Amino acid sequence: MSKIIDFFQREIKGQPAFAFACNFLLAMTTFSLSRLFFFFVNSDYFTDVTFSHLMNMMAGGLRFDLTALLYTNSLYMVMQILPFRFRFGEIYQKVAKWLYIIPNALCIVMNCGDTAFFSFTNRRTTCTIFSEFKNEDNLLGVFANGVVDYWYITIFAVAVIYLLYRLYQSPSKADGCTLKSWRYYAGHALVLAFFVYFTIIGIRGGFGAYTRPITLSNANEYVNKGNEAAIVLNTPFCIYRTIGKKVYKDPKYFNSIEEAAAVCSPIRQFQKSGEMNKMNVVVMILESFGKENFGFFNKHLDGGTYKGYTPFLDSLMGEGLTFKYSYSNGRKSIDGMPSVLSSIPMFIEPFILTPYSTNSISSIADVLREEGYYTAFFHSAPNGSMGFQAYAKAAGFQDYFGMTEYGNDKDFDGTWGIWDEEFLQFYARKMNEFRKPFATSIFTVSSHHPFNVPERYKDKFPKGDRPIHQCIGYSDNALRLFFKTMSQYDWFENTLFVITADHTNQISHEEYHTDANIYAVPVLFYHPGSNLKGCREDVLAQQIDIMPSVLSYLNYGKPFFSFGNDVICGADKDKYVINYSNQIYQLYQGDWLLQFDGVKTKALYRFKEDVMLKNNLKDSNPDVVKKMETIVKANIQQYIHRMLNDELTAKP
């Protein structure tokens, strides 16, 4: 036994290949620790996960960790397994050490970043992150705020990176191998061959054909609910696997696009008679104003004592038409504009960030501009931020008003843009100057991380139990002052206001953490002095319904492009809502919520009565599954076909 131990110490332990194996296992361990930390920080989103299920997902996640770390450590591995004795040089090994420490530390930072970011997006980050923030001028400030605000994540990241550095295994400073040259090179050539084989298998994800190559969707093999895929996956894997990848591939569920169109067609035309009612249109997209923040929708919460943080908007809800069940079509700000203004939902990746963003598109601005409307888009961030200015131009808005046009940097909030109160007043004044009729839209910014309010409003609004709540109160008050100003103008009553949110954020109550309600945002149509009122419970609404609903209300009778439907004049009980996250398409229809992974149905719930989505009824309701699957497949095929073939308008 002593001879075996001596041989191991002399011939194996000190070798660079053995050091690589030890350090690779260390990196795998840091990924598992990061996964556990991710789960515990975001545990409010995974209330149904049992210990055994968590362990199953942890085990499944090792496949994705292996692939990500083989990509990350490929250069380091090559340096350590080359069958040459110069590997033992001191400088050579110092270089190798930092080629290990730095890339793996960056991976830890990526995973920890998503630990914080998940509450905003409900999924792991992909390579589109580079396009999403490429026009931001204040990324350093945003990062610094995040490091401070999420201090506990920062401490964890630093601790794990220190662990990586402290436990790093270096090979011997001298080659202790006593094997003769030909045996040395032959033995190490075999080691090299083993690692090459190991790397190929690891990157592909296994031996079987079904794992070639392992992709993000493979995470669904280990989950019970769609958002749990974020536990199984890791952020470096998601970034590596989406770099340079084709976003869309025609699924060919139907034999032809005409066959799919018989189920779902985005070319709409209302049967209208008489003249078009050319009233003004104002579409307001509120940053992070999820439904949970509204007392109006949540009288049942906290034993009936819940007041929410939006007293003004709650009062406005009673003066317009809104919906008990209304949802966003994406989870990011960058998803909101195409959904709300162009009736294009987010499937797979944000439309603005795909190569197909240069396709010809239509929008509510484009359609109304052709009817003689003046159109303008407002966003108080630095011009170019989030790609909104480019999208507004492509969508047909004649003018863009951003931080540059506002012209007073004293009102800058220090992070994202001009404070909502000041910019909304600017918005009101500008609209009063515009020729009529006009169609405008605004995207607010103040209810966003780092969740600050102007100094004069410190301690004025309820702080609730989340940092965002004070900001929601501030922006709600800014909207109150905005409508107070607007009501003084003679064109106010000849204006249709539409109010929605881009997505939800910082959730407090358990029922809003579900796959269904993580998308719950308000949709309000407000026409001062009209009979357009009520809170409908029989109709489902979504962001992509806004454009067709506005056009219907204006008595527009020409063809237009829209994946949504009219929920004002033509809503029916078969109306559905569709959205996508974590490789899962969700279809809400009637009382049902179907989850479809692109191949098969994963779950079916009665989401209105089973609020927490506890009872999966897919096996006992095959007819419902078949009907809803057909609708989902038709939407997917229409969407992808039209993206690939540049057919996102009603024009021939």
Quickly state the pLDDT bin for 219 (edges 50, 70, 90).
confident
The pairing of strands 534-542 and 576-581 is unpaired
Q: What is the pLDDT of residue 210?
A: 39
Q: Is residue 649 part of a domain?
A: no
Residues 405 and 472 in one domain: yes
Task: Determine the Cα–Cα distance for residues 77 and 96; give it in Å rounded to an integer.
Answer: 9
Q: Per-residue pLDDT averaged across 119-143, rounded?
A: 69
Sorted by sequence, the CB contacts under 8 Å of residue 557 that are 6+ apart come out as 269, 270, 271, 272, 273, 276
Residue 518, domain CATH? 3.40.720.10
Which strands make up the sheet holding 438-443, listed edge to edge?
Answer: 399-401, 374-379, 438-443, 280-286, 495-501, 523-526, 321-327, 534-542
Quickly state the pLDDT bin for 305 (edges 50, 70, 90).
very high
Residues 225 and 362 in one domain: no
Residues 524 and 601 in one domain: yes
Residues 291 and 221 in one domain: no
Residues 51 and 152 in one domain: yes
Determine the length of the chain. 652
178-198 pLDDT, tens digit each: 445 655 556 556 666 666 666
> Residue 283: pLDDT above 60?
yes
Residues 70 and 102 in one domain: yes
Q: Is residue 408 part of a domain?
A: yes
326-378 pLDDT, tens digit each: 999 998 888 889 999 999 999 988 888 777 877 888 999 999 999 999 999 99
> Residue 69: pLDDT above 70?
yes
Residues 297 and 218 in one domain: no
Query: Of residues 45 and 322, which shows the higher confidence score?
Result: 322
The whole domain housing 144 covers 2-242
Q: Is residue 23 part of a domain?
A: yes
pTM of this prediction? 0.81
**Into how many domains does the chain fold?**
2
Q: What is the pLDDT of residue 4?
A: 46
H or E element: which one contains 184? helix 181-204
Q: Is residue 247 part of a domain?
A: no
Q: Is residue 343 part of a domain?
A: yes
Q: What is the pLDDT of residue 136?
A: 61
Alpha-carbon Rg for the chain in angstroms: 28
Quickly state the pLDDT bin for 509 (edges 50, 70, 90).
very high
- Cβ distance 252 to 641 under 8 Å? no
Q: Is residue 113 part of a domain?
A: yes
Q: Per-residue pLDDT averaged across 521-541, rounded?
A: 95
Token pair in block for residue 378: 């407002």
Q: Per-residue pLDDT averaged across 512-528, rounded?
A: 95
The pairing of strands 280-286 and 267-268 is unpaired
> Residue 421: pLDDT above 50?
yes
> Residue 110: pLDDT above 50?
yes
Burial string for 365-396 (b: 16+ CB within 10 Å, else e) reads bbbbbeeebbbbbbbbbbbbbbbbbebbebbb
Q: Is residue 279 part of a domain?
A: no
As a whole-number percent, the residues of the chain with pLDDT over 70 amount to 88
Q: What is the pLDDT of residue 318?
A: 94
Residues 237 and 338 in one domain: no
Q: What is the pLDDT of residue 107?
A: 95
Token pair in block for residue 89: 């040089």
Residue whose pair of structure tokens reads 């795998």 in the numeric block:
28
Task: Determine the Cα–Cα distance for residues 253 and 255; give it in Å rounded to an integer.
Answer: 7
Task: Determine the Cα–Cα distance for residues 351 and 333; give it in Å rounded to an integer.
Answer: 12
Lowest mean pLDDT, pick from 225-239, 257-271, 419-433, 518-532: 225-239
β-pair partners for 588: 577, 593
Q: Is residue 276 part of a domain?
A: no
- Cβ distance 625 to 592 under 8 Å? no
Residues 291 and 184 in one domain: no
- Cβ distance 251 to 640 under 8 Å? yes
Q: Per-residue pLDDT averaged across 296-301, rounded?
A: 94
DSSP state of 11: I
Lowest mean pLDDT, pick from 133-142, 403-412, 549-558, 627-636: 133-142
Token pair in block for residue 409: 């940097």
Residues 339 and 216 in one domain: no
Q: Per-residue pLDDT averaged across 399-425, rounded?
A: 92
Q: What is the pLDDT of residue 211?
A: 43
Q: Per-residue pLDDT averaged across 417-428, rounded?
A: 96
Lowest mean pLDDT, pick from 230-244, 252-266, 373-387, 549-563: 230-244
Sorted by sequence, the CB contacts under 8 Å of residue 93 that are 6+ apart come out as 16, 87, 170, 171, 173
Q: What is the pLDDT of residue 324?
A: 96
Mean pLDDT of the chain: 87
Residues 77 and 158 in one domain: yes
The pairing of strands 601-606 and 592-596 is antiparallel
Residue whose pair of structure tokens reads 């609910």 in the numeric block:
225
Residues 143 and 23 in one domain: yes
Task: Determine the Cα–Cα distance for residues 573 and 564; give it in Å rounded to an integer.
Answer: 14
Q: What is the pLDDT of residue 191?
A: 62
